[in-house]
Amino acid sequence: MTNLAQALTDTAAEHGSRPAVKLDDLVIDYDTLLDGARRVAAMLKDRGIGPGDRVGMVLPNVPPFPVLFYGAVAAGCVVVPMNPLLKAREVQYYLEDSGASIVFSWHQMAEEATKAAAEVGIDCVSVEPDGFTDLLAGFEPDDEVVAREDDETVVLLYTSGTTGQPKGAELTHGNMTSNAATSAETLVELGPEDVVMGCLPLFHCFGLTCGLNASVRSGSCLTLIPRFDATKALEVIGRDRVTVFEGVPTMYAGMLHAPDAESYDVSSLRTCISGGSAMPVEVMKKFEQTFDCIVLEGYGLSETSPVASFNHPGKERKPGTIGVPVRGVQMKVVDDDRQDVAQGEVGEIAIKGENVMKGYWGREDATAESVQDGWFLSGDMATVDDEGYFTIVDRKKDLIIRGGYNVYPREIEEVLYGHDAVAEVAVIGLPHDDLGEEVGAAVALKDGQSATEEELQAFAKESLAAYKYPRKVWLVDDLPKGPTGKILRREVTAPEETS
């Protein structure tokens, strides 16, 4: 039996006076974090909310997030984290679908959550720094960590998907405890002296597991940025002597292209890890050259808690790959009939192990479709080499079929990232009467740089087969991104007139 919140109790007993969470000048040590979490548990129990009940959280990366999270988990509740930018209609869907008993919302975003809670008929508790402290002061700390089985749900993480309504991935105490341990002990090798950059959203699996839960398990300090800003991130790395940076590729690109990027002191950085989407090799190389550090790329999904594979420290690193499966996890590449494909051939990644979700909340059909015989079908296309290293080719749904030929957007994006003026790229399929689909590329340029659509097209044409290079290229100020900063191809549209 493992309650995920036990890690906070254990760490506070050993490192109580060490900083747990930091936001600029505000520092909370482990004793204070534990005390706050225990008061949250008492508040929930006072309201009759306990084991198995769902608790909504609509907060950015602020100190009350971990306090509420660990308090709810210690009380045996199931946490439903939500993006604080969601509108009332969207919050209402999450609350109704999960059957939440209460929702906590950061005061600056509370209006939408309050409207949603009213529609559902539950309370929305507005959270603001001073008021939250006062609220908790009214409850005596409850030091019970409710016993939970490893296979009992602890978090419902809603995945956006490309079609239909979001589905709640049920992650268990066993899933999240083992994945946090793997992140802390194997991948990043965290210890009490480490400072982890908390710019990944905590309401997202990457930030929650690899940032918060891994840090708490290790006694590390998590320094928060409520909303990612490249210049702010570089400042915080120097100010707080950050040793571990965790981010998605657009964050790395943003810091790399920040004004006077090379003037910031990032000498404290020991390890950088990247996930969420494929890291363009050119971005990785330039980041490592500029900031004199190593970037290790991994892979995972909300449904896998999230880490499934990684370029492990101490093993050969292969830039452009997502490494090998982490401990307790198996991966393979299969065809549409779920049969293993030949080595080097493209197929869909299937994942099995202690990180795979229990299922989709209330969606037996969707669960049966995605998980068979314990293997979760990821929807990501990849190859695996003779040493077991996986390379993402693309999302299955993003595959472009041009005149019968398979075109993988990531390959074209990698080429365009090699152009000195390019900051960000998204390649999509465009409807075509004769070919079925044509290849299109939306490109955002670096500040102060210039390039024409024709020039970028010619640049890509030099390195790509005739059926692959983008026939349509258009320039944009920036590209649509999800809550973690991941570029959303499905939201990219082409202007009517493109070259």
Looking at residue 312, what is its pLDDT? 93
Looking at residue 162, what is its pLDDT? 46
Task: Please name which of 137, 251, 149, 237 lies closest in space to residue 200, comparing C-alpha atoms.
Answer: 251
Q: How far is CA 158 from the centre of its chain?
A: 12
Task: Please name which of 222, 224, 286 lies closest in space to residue 255, comparing C-alpha atoms.
Answer: 286
Name the pTM for this structure: 0.88
CA distances from 187 to 181, 190, 306 (A): 9, 8, 13
Looking at residue 189, what is its pLDDT? 92
Amino acid at 175: N
| Residue 55: strand, helix, or coil | strand
CA torsion sign for 342, 345, 346, 351 is positive
Alpha-carbon dihedral of residues 174, 176, 181, 182, nearest 10 degrees?
100
CA 217 – CA 327 distance, rounded (Å): 17
Looking at residue 161, what is its pLDDT? 53
For the chain, list residues with pLDDT below 70.
160-164, 497-499
Looking at residue 17, what is its pLDDT? 98
CA 100 – CA 55 distance, rounded (Å): 6
Strand extents, DSSP E, 63-203: 78-82, 100-106, 123-127, 153-159, 167-172, 195-198
- Which are the contacts of 470, defined by CB distance < 8 A and separation ≥ 6? 412, 427, 439, 440, 441, 457, 460
Looking at residue 405, what is its pLDDT? 78
